[in-house]
Every structure is written in structure tokens, then in C-alpha cells.
Structure 1
Amino acid sequence: MSTLKRISDVPQLPSRSVDSHKGSYGRAVIVGGSVGMSGAISLAGLGALRGGAGLVYLACPKSIWSAVAAIEPSYLTVPLSEDANGRLAVPSIPGILLACQNADAVAIGPGLGQSDELRDLVSHIVRSVDVPCVVDADALNLLVDRVDVLGTAPAVRVLTPHPGEFARLTGLTITVVQANRESLAIEFAQRHRVVLVLKGAGTIVTDGLRVFINRTGNPGMATGGTGDVLTGLITALIAQGADPFDAACLGCHLHGLAGDIAAEELSPPGMIASDLPKYLPRAWKRS
């Protein structure tokens, strides 16, 4: 059995070349959104932009397309077919795969919603997309009964559950998860060959061979949407060529540091998720 390596230094991206262009920093595609949850995919898009991706595409149901597009002019939007409830469905799959065709990294989950068709859609995307894919939020819940699909994926999958989502994935209680966070995270990553980001105070990042404990962040980040920003941020770092484990470590560090800077200026109770992308530039400067 390989010896587990503990990582203490935060990985960094290489300096940017003076003659680089937007294509040098990757294409990130984020799949998600539904009626009533257009904010989630938009926050992920903002996280990806502030994470440095050269091009960011948000693939979402056509009924929320204009709302998502109006939030930020810097990302591109891909309107997709939807079901009667304004959610993506199996007929959306060809459009998603087309959007992912030239991607360097993909994320799926923010604001996706829940349905039987979405369960089939998520399974198909997870086992089909041939670049690294970040799986978050609703996509994690949709994989609860199909977690074995992770082992058939053609590229690395990065899962970013909070303790409740991880409890559902493993069939354990939240109490058991919280009492055994590190060992359970490592075991899951080894078994399913994924990078696992188990969120919480002292977020754990592991690929089963290495483990990193994040030391940034604060209780002001305990508000809806902050996880969506992290999803976009990690996706952007992978799109720029970072190893998925390194991207997850750096992403968690920057995400928490942006939250710490925001808390200093705004107060923890006064923070909202959309503050984090605004403070990411300062987190980059401090990192």
C-alpha cells in the first residue's frame, strides 16, 4: 500500500507569459441551473472568471438563459432544451456534449435541480466527458445510487460535497462523517479514484494518495452559494492546466482567503456568496 503524503504547501500556477492570449488559459464549461436557481450557475461562472479561465461557458436551460447572461457579460452562455419544469433533461445531453467538445475542464451541478431524467443525464455526462470534471451540489445527490459510475470515467472527477452530501454518497450519518472526516475522505477517494473535497471547517482535499487540509475560511462563508463559487474556481484552475488535486488545494485556499478578506471588511454576518468573486483578486495577490 502506498504511503499517504501530507501536503502543507499550497500549489501555485506558473506565471503568465507576456505573449499569452485567452486561449492560453483554457475553456471552462459549467453545466447547471434551473428555474428558480439561476443564481447558482451564475456564481459558479463568476468563480471561474475570477479563477483565471480564458473562456467560461455556462450551459443552462433556455428559459433562464437571458437571466444568467444578464448577470455578467464576461462569460458565454449556452441555452439548452429543458423539461416542463425548467430543468435540463435527457434531450439536453447532445447540446451539453457539444458544449464540452473543446473544453479543458467541465463542472456539473450548481442549481441543476432533481429529477429522474437528471439522474440519467448526470450519469451520462460523468462517464462520457473526456476531460476533468468537477461534480457538485445537485449532481452529487443525483449520483447517490450510481456512485460506481465514477470508476468508469475517462478522466479525473473532482467531487466537492459538504458533509450532508457526503453522508448521502456513503450511506452514513452526518455524525459519523464529521467524526471521521479524514479517514472517510481518503477511503472514498481511493475506492472511486477521484479527488475528493470534503468541505467544512478545515476542508479536506485528497486523491487517496495525498491529503491537504485547508486553513483559510471563516463562518461568514456559511451562506448559500459559496460552494458554487468554489466549483467554478476549481474548474478554472484545471482549465489552465493545473493537476486536479493541485487545483482543488489552490482553489480551496483562494476561496477561503477571499472569504477572510471579505470578513475583515464586511463582517462575517454581512457576507454573501457574490462577495467572494469580488475579493478573489485580492486573494490572488496575497497568495
Structure 2
Amino acid sequence: MRIATSEIMKEIDNYCINELRIPGILLMENAALKIIKNLELDKHHSFCIVCTKGNNGGDGFAVARHLHILNKKVEVFLVGDKEGMSQDCKINYDILKKIGVNINKVTNLEDINDLRDSIERSQVTIDSLFGTGLSRKVEGIFDSVISIINENSKYIVSIDIPSGLDGNRGKILGNCIKADKTISFQLYKKGFLNYGTDKLTGEVVIEEIGIPEAAISRFHNNEFIIDENMIRSNIQVRDKYSYKGDYGRVLVVAGSNGYTGAAYICTQGAVRSGAGLVTLCCDSEIRETLRSKLVEAMTISFDEQDKLSELIEKSDAIAIGPGMGDNEKTFNLLSNIINNANCPIVIDADGINVLKDRLDILKNKKSEIIITPHLGEMSRIVDLPIDYIKENRMEISKKFAKENNIIVLLKGYNTIITDGEKTIINPTGNSAMASGGMGDCLTGMIASFIGQGYKSISAACIAAFIHGYSGEKLSRDMFCVNASHILEDIPFSIKEIQC
């Protein structure tokens, strides 16, 4: 699924209408039919449709016509002045009047009382006020109407975007509809990705309305959302003649005194995701403890320099950072690996923390690097406040990835994966997974998939999706899901998706 800004959607629409000569009224009609499809007409029979004079309002008038033809109870309201109504909106407005549907005007407080009464009588309120092009603050009568809709509706469906939501930043422009369902068109709106927007959009449905691929690819900005079909089509079927050597040698460099869990979870993440041979390199103080727990992985200590150098040279993927401590020892180990590894490197946790003010070591790399920060770690290395990063996650991640020629996986709600050119959003996972060790598990999984032969950005996408998919699945029956639960479930989730 592709993501678009408001500007991209406008360019696509203009290209379709002006260059491809697709009538705007045809796209509006297609949109209306897709909205009807999503209104659960078997249980909803009365609708209050609230429109304005723009094209979003035109969608609402077209929907009202179809509902009227289907013998549903429909009450329609036009908020604001009819003057300046868009051409396509006016066509649907006029048709509605000619077939005998009354259109109520809302221009003052007395009219708002009529709107409130209609909303209270109706099972569903359809928000057809503002689309993705809104950039100014909602004020006056429109502000009051949005409040009336939110306060009195039983169920709200927004057309394309909740009215009052900034389509790019996910910010409320003064006041905003709080929809139960948003039916949007063709491309996922960028503003839907930000923290807290799910409370405004409700369930998001993306419907195609007949926009040709040529128009989308001409303007699309290489930003995507992962879905299960994408993962299924990318997971390789194992050859029956293959053996452990075919699925990669993965080196995990992790752990220190007091932080055995991070090393264990990261290593097991690699093992349970299907890597052929996994070796953990850890502090000598914790090696014996971990050796007794890691039945399927080998262990060495940081002190075994010759063995470590050999593994760095021969590995197919390296993961470094979990539980190592933000200190010079960690930095020196990271520098050694970056300078000498011939395979992709996944850097997490303290491996990221030691990069603060020392990003120059990334310039010396001989192979690809993936960093997997959470918001706090990203804040440290880019020296920006967490709240600012929350509001600009895609832009900051893309810029950092491009400047340092690396892949960034910024963890959190709608995890961002980017190499600076292509950006992919992973939508899986939920708050039941909010516990220690989850990031360590994901780091091991990414290294495992790289070791098995997947390209680095594909490995990051597959690992992130399966990690979240497993957590969502387990959370149906569990209040909280821990990393150990994910580790147990990984092979089962991969098989489910593969089939």
C-alpha cells in the first residue's frame, strides 16, 4: 500500500482530469460507490450527511443519492454558503434536489439545532465537510458543526479524511471529527501515520476509485506501508536439499554483566527466525551463564580476539549493541566491526548510543549498516527533542539515512524503515508488546533474515512485520506479551504467513 501527501493527491487528481481526461465527476461517482460499499447497509438504515461546497461535499451529495435510491432514510445538510460551489459538487447537489431530496442549510445557530436533532435521529453521521486539501484552522460555523457531530453522533464515517485533520502532519486544525471509520481513496494519507491519529480516524479503509497506475507512479514519492501479501511474496520457500550452511552465519555481539537477558533474547531472535549458524560474542563474566541457556547457538567471549576476528570476517550478518553498555569498550568493538566486516551490520541499543557525536565512523564502513533506534536513542544521535521527532519521524529518518548512507529502522507506532530513498511503514504490533527485550528480539531477527540471503531493507521489513504480527496474535489472549513469548512464536508466525 502506498502513502501520499495532500500535495501528491492533488497532483494525481489534476493529472487524471487535465491530462488523461478522466472527468472529475466520474472519480466522484466511483468514490461514492465505494463509500456505499463500506456503510454496512444491512444494519444501518438512517443517515445524516453533512457536506460543504467543495469536492468532498460533492462526494457526500453523491452518497446521499445512492442511499435515497436504496430507500434509506437520508437527511442532508449543506454547511456554509452555496456560493462558489465546485463544478462537480454542484452537479451532484442539483441531481439530489431534482430527485426530491431536501438539502438543509446550516448558516447560523438555529440551523445547528436542526442538525443536532437530525444527528440524534440517525444511526450514522457521514462527515463530508473537508478533504485532504484543508490547510487553515477550522473556525466559525464549521467549528461548531464539528463539535455537534462529535458530541451527538452514534457512529461517524468520514469521507477521505476526518474533517479538520491535516492530511500531511496528522495535526488537528482547530477542531476535528472523531470518526469511527474513515473511507479514504487510492493511497494511504501520510497524516494517518502520526501518533494519536487513530483516535480521529477510527478504522481506516483504502478504496480504489479508478485512478490509473500511470498517474500514481508519476507522482508517488516512494513511500509504502507493508501488508501481509508483500511479506508472503517475499518469504523464500526452503529447498528440500538445503542445509544449515545455506541459511547463514550470524554473529551477535551483545551483553555485559547484569545484562544477560538482552544478549540471550537477541541471539534467540536470530535462532528462532531460521539462521543456520548463530554465535554470540559476549563478556567473559556472563559467557558461562549464557552458554548453558543457548542450546542452539555457540558462544565466545570478547577476550577471544582471534576467534572474534575470524567470525567478523566470515559472517553473513552481524548484530551488535544489546546490553553492552554505553562505554568505550562498546565503541571500540563497534569500530572494529565497522572497519572489518564484509557483511551487513545491524546496530541496536548501546551500539547506537555510542555513536553520539561520533557518527564519522559510519563513513568507514565496507558494508551496509542498519540502525534500529527507539525514539530516545534517535533523539540522542540526532540531538533533537523526542517530541519533535514524534511529529516528524519520516522526515528525520529519511534525512539521517540519506546523510549517512545507511538504513534506519525507527521503532514505535508505525515503525519507519528507510534507506533515504525508499520509505516503508510497518503497521503491525501493539501496546501489549511494550516491555523490555522486544527491540533485542527484533535486532536478532533482522540479522537472521540478512544471514539467510535477504537484502538488508527486505530483511528489516520482514522481521518488523513478523515481530509485530506475532505480538498482535498473542495479545488476543494475553494482557501483555513479552519477548520470550515472541521468541516461541516466531517460527509459527512465519509459517502462517508463508502459507
TM superposition score normalised by structure 1: 0.91
* Alignment match, 1:7: 224
* Alignment match, 1:276: 486
* Alignment match, 2:377: 165
Equivalence map 1:21-36=2 (5 Å): 21-36=243-258
Shift of 1:283: 1.5
Preserved contact between residue 60 and residue 80 of structure 1 (Cα < 8 Å): yes
From 40, 50, 59, the equivalent of 2:262 is: 40
Shift of 1:6: 2.3
2:308 is aligned with 1:54: no
Letter aligned with residue 441 of structure 2:
V
Whole-Å separation in 1 of the counterparts to 2:277 and 2:286 = 20
Preserved contact between residue 185 and residue 198 of structure 1 (Cα < 8 Å): yes
2:282 is aligned with 1:97: no
2:238 is aligned with 1:16: yes
Equivalence map 1:154-233=2 (5 Å): 154-233=366-445
Shift of 1:209: 1.3
Preserved contact between residue 319 and residue 346 of structure 2 (Cα < 8 Å): yes
Question: Which moved further from structure 2: 9-18 or 133-142?
Answer: 9-18
Shift of 1:78: 1.1
Shift of 1:136: 0.3
Whole-Å separation in 2 of the counterparts to 1:228 and 1:77 = 17
What is the DSSP-based 3-state SS (H/G/I as helix, E as strand, rest coil) of the residue aligned with 1:154? Answer: coil
Question: Which moved further from structure 2: 217-226 or 72-81?
Answer: 72-81
Preserved contact between residue 4 and residue 208 of structure 1 (Cα < 8 Å): no
Whole-Å separation in 2 of the counterparts to 1:60 and 1:117 = 12
Shift of 1:265: 2.5
1:64-115 deviation line (CA, Å, top 9, x unaligned): 111111222011111232xxxxxxxxxx655432222211000100111122
Whole-Å separation in 1 of the counterparts to 2:294 and 2:488 = 13
Shift of 1:59: 0.5
Q: Cα gap change, 1:60/1:93 in structure 2, threshold over 3 Å: closer, same or farther?
A: same
What is the DSSP-based 3-state SS (H/G/I as helix, E as strand, rest coil) of the residue aligned with 1:224? Answer: coil
Shift of 1:263: 1.0
Whole-Å separation in 2 of the counterparts to 1:145 and 1:96 = 27
Whole-Å separation in 1 of the counterparts to 2:484 and 2:458 = 24
Equivalence map 1:125-136=2 (5 Å): 125-136=337-348
1:213-264 deviation line (CA, Å, top 9, x unaligned): 1111010111000100000000000001100000000110000011112212
Whole-Å separation in 1 of the counterparts to 2:236 and 2:333 = 36
Whole-Å separation in 1 of the counterparts to 2:462 and 2:417 = 10
Preserved contact between residue 345 and residue 368 of structure 2 (Cα < 8 Å): yes
What is the DSSP-based 3-state SS (H/G/I as helix, E as strand, rest coil) of the residue aligned with 1:247? Answer: helix
2:289 is aligned with 1:71: no
Letter aligned with residue 224 of structure 2:
I
Preserved contact between residue 93 and residue 121 of structure 1 (Cα < 8 Å): no
What is the DSSP-based 3-state SS (H/G/I as helix, E as strand, rest coil) of the residue aligned with 1:145? Answer: coil
RMSD: 1.6
Q: Cα gap change, 1:72/1:94 in structure 2, threshold over 3 Å: closer, same or farther?
A: closer
Whole-Å separation in 2 of the counterparts to 1:156 and 1:116 = 23
1:130-177 deviation line (CA, Å, top 9, x unaligned): 210000000100111211221221010000000000010101110111
Whole-Å separation in 1 of the counterparts to 2:238 and 2:482 = 31
Whole-Å separation in 1 of the counterparts to 2:246 and 2:316 = 11
Letter aligned with residue 202 of structure 1:
N
What residue ranges of structure 1 are gaps of 5+ in the alignment? 82-91
Question: Which moved further from structure 2: 242-251 or 7-16?
Answer: 7-16
Structure of higher CA gyration radius: 2
Preserved contact between residue 313 and residue 340 of structure 2 (Cα < 8 Å): no
Larger RCO, structure (CA 8 Å, separation 6 or more) = 1
Could you list the runs of 4 or more consecutive aligned residues of structure 1 that deviate by over 3 angstroms after TM superposition? 7-11, 92-95
Preserved contact between residue 26 and residue 53 of structure 1 (Cα < 8 Å): yes
* Alignment match, 1:84: none
Shift of 1:4: 4.1
How many residue pairs are counted as aligned between the two chains?
274
* Alignment match, 1:251: 463
Preserved contact between residue 225 and residue 427 of structure 2 (Cα < 8 Å): no
